Structures are given as structure tokens and as C-alpha cells.
Structure 1
């Protein structure tokens, strides 16, 4: 399927690894020009043709505007992907205000600020597409990631509100809600499995196996599968889809 993304100018946040890297690679494969924002410019980003890598701290309130300015006066697609999901195995009472603020800032406010900076560019051009990387935890809250769940629920609500305000002006806003994805966020040395293992004494492999068992497919979603869904939502192939939140969780969500 030709997604019609060739020649598009795309801005991706949290682009250095994991889902963000897969998103960048997907757009490049479709012939798009990508501005990739990342706290650290990874070797993988540096070697990609068609990518302008920008080192930026999106937890800094000034960071998103700096990234958008680096993208220039044309942005056809924005993917708000940056985020963190710190596990809280000790429970809600141990989550401090500072922890809440850190999670809220990077998962929600970075998207608010980046979108706020991008919208005038898109409005001047007469349209555009915004896709937010959300989480299944926005509708399946989990005490293990209580602050992350709340922030992703707010992000989904934000996307719906923006879709209503800016849809009549040619800008579509959608979200994807992945379940566990095979990235360092879950499987790395400091990921969810390792953190839960350290707190409970369970082997990290058993934590991973338990997460897989919660999905009817019996496996984690691959980063490229999330990226493919985001590319489709960013394309005009489904140009009348806006305000939607697409779940990709291997069947973990069992309710309608």
C-alpha cells in the first residue's frame, strides 16, 4: 500500500531508540524527510539518510519550541512519542510529588508544548496530522505505573479535544495505545521486568513471561508494528480518521 508519505516533512520526538527509532525508520522507508528529536543523538540516528537529528531535552519547557524551530517552516506530520514509564513497585504512597511532576512533564507536557509550537506551522499550511504515542494504561490503569497511567490518560484526552478544535481546519489528531513492547523500557537492564524483579525477588524472565501470558498472542508487540500503525494514521489513506485511539496490545484488553 502506498501511504503517500514521500516528500512529507515529519517531526518525531523521543526518536533515539525503541518505538521512536522504529517510527523514524518507517517514515524514511516511505520517502519522508524526518526531523528526529532526541536527548542523545544515537549512532542509529546518525547513519540514517533523510534524517535531521536534533539533540534536545524535551523535559525543559523551552525544548519543544527549540525542536520545532529547528524543523523549519514546514511540518506535515508530528509524532509525539517521547515518554517515560518508571515502575513503582513500592506502591502509590511512595510516589512523591517530584516523581509525579517528572512523569507528567515528559509524558504529557512535552506533547502539549510541542503541539502548541507545531500547530501554527500546520495551520499556515492548511493542514497536517498529529499522532501521539499513548499507552494501553490510559484505559487499563496499573498501580505499578500509577503516574504513567494517569499521564497517558490525560494525553489521550488531549488528543480528542484537539481533534475537535482543529479538525475543521484540516488537522487530524489521533493516538495509538500500545501494550508491552519489546524495547528497553520493558526488557532493558533498568526496564520494568528488571525493576519488578529487584523489588519482588522474581526472576526478570518470569516477570516477562507473566506479561506475555496476559496477551492472547503470547508475545510482546514489536516496535515496528507500533510504527506501522502510526504511519497509517499519519497518512491520507485514512484521511477521515481523527480523534481515535487505536489499541495494539496483543489482545490484552478483553473488554469492548
Structure 2
């Protein structure tokens, strides 16, 4: 029994959510948002060991269970083992947030095959591996929700990040395909496609001339906080989004209105 109270505190009560890349940035905000909503969290990370363990401690302070495991989403066996570990630890799996990702910047003509493959394997193939491993478990449990973290750049394309934008566009198509194939069996897959956020990754864009130009495009007049984007993820994980299948939510301050 958790000790949460207040509006929305029980939206995910009784549910278990696996979050990849949960040690920093948006992933960390998602972990804490799930915890505030009453959900238990299986938190995986690649390199941010200290950040992941701090996030787990903060989640536990909110009255939920949160366990931590290192994971390289590029490795299919590691991903499958992480799903098995989640079920062995918590007894079930109700939600999956495919958040792990990288966004290197390279001019298009200078992207090497190795750089292209690394971004694709991290940002898209990892989501495929995790979804493929999680869906049978969710089906056994009567259903579940998968949320892919996409990007505004995956919807519009962008110079210097063709590999990242392509992978994020692929993650949108992936969740639509999953919803069409498994929707009638209780699996919902959706995406959250944020714009620039006030995270370590986002601040590299926010600062300087590029940031000023991007800010001028936003009707809201400010960039997003990761906690605001995490709220959209929690909505898609919750039963409140029962009619949402194959949808992309765009918390981007109005920078893109699809």
C-alpha cells in the first residue's frame, strides 16, 4: 500500500511500469511522475548509474517500489532479460516507456554507417526489442500500454540530425503498427513527441542564437519542462487513455501543430 495522496495519486496504482533510460532527463521525470501516480517502477539505465539510483530513491520516498537495473537497449538479450527481471521482481508488467535514446549531431554527408547504426539501434531498434519482449507478458496479464518517446524532429526532419529524426519517425510508425496488430487484444501503443525541453540535452539547443530562433516559433513563449511532458506519458499509461491507440501527443508549446 503506498502513501500517496492528492489528485491523480492513484492513476497508476497497482500497475508496474518499465522505463528505459530512466536515470536522467525526461526518463527521470517519467519515473517520478509514474511514482506520483502510484505506479511501481522498473528503472533501467545505460551509463547514468548515480542518477538512476537517486531517481529510484526519490520514487521510493513517494511510497512506491522502484528497482534499478543497467541495460543496453541495443542488446536484444539484455532487453529480454530486463523484461524477465521486471516480472520476476514485481510479478507483472502493465506499462513500457521506450525512452532510451541518443541525439548526436552530424552533417548529413558526414554521417558514417557506424554512427547511423548506433542511433538506429538505440532510438528505434531498442524500442522494438523492448516492445517485442513486453507484449507477450502484457497479453498474459490482460493488456498493457506502450509509450514511445518520439520527437518533434521525427515529425518535421531537421538538418544535422537525420539519423535521430529518422529513428524517431520510425518509433511513431512502430507504435501505430503495434496498436493495429494488438489493439483488439488489449495492447495500446502511443507516442509522446515533445519539442525542446529544459534538460541537459535540450539546453544545448536552448542556449544561444538557435534557442532564440526556436523560442520565437513557440506560441506559448517558453520551452517545456520535462515534468510537463512526463504528465502526458502518465496519461497514456493510465486507464484514462483507453481510447488512445496509435496516437502521437505533442507537448511542444505549439511549435508544431499536426
Q: Taking structure 2 as the reference length, what is the TM-score of the superposition? A: 0.88
Equivalent pair of 2:120/2:163 in contact (CA under 8 Å): yes
Distance 1:115 1:85 in 2: 21
Higher relative contact order (CA 8 A, sep 6+): 1
* Aligned twin of 1:70: 85
Distance 2:112 2:217 in 1: 29
Distance 1:192 1:94, change over 3 A: farther
Match among 7, 24, 27 for residue 14 of structure 2 = 7
After TM superposition, give the deviation of residue 192 of structure 1 in Å.
Answer: 4.5
* Aligned twin of 1:209: 212
* Aligned twin of 1:199: none
* Aligned twin of 1:59: 74
Match among 5, 23, 26 for residue 16 of structure 1 = 23
Distance 1:44 1:144 in 2: 33
Across the aligned residues of Structure 1 and Structure 2, the Cα RMSD in angstroms comes to 1.5
Equivalent pair of 1:86/1:192 in contact (CA under 8 Å): no
Aligned length: 240
Distance 2:202 2:196 in 1: 7
Distance 2:256 2:126 in 1: 27
Distance 2:37 2:256 in 1: 31
Distance 1:62 1:108 in 2: 16
Tell me, which stretches of 5 or more residues in structure 1 are unaligned? 194-203
Q: Taking structure 1 as the reference length, what is the TM-score of the superposition? A: 0.89
Match among 116, 133, 136 for residue 152 of structure 2 = 136
Tell me, which stretches of 5 or more residues in structure 2 are unaligned? 1-6
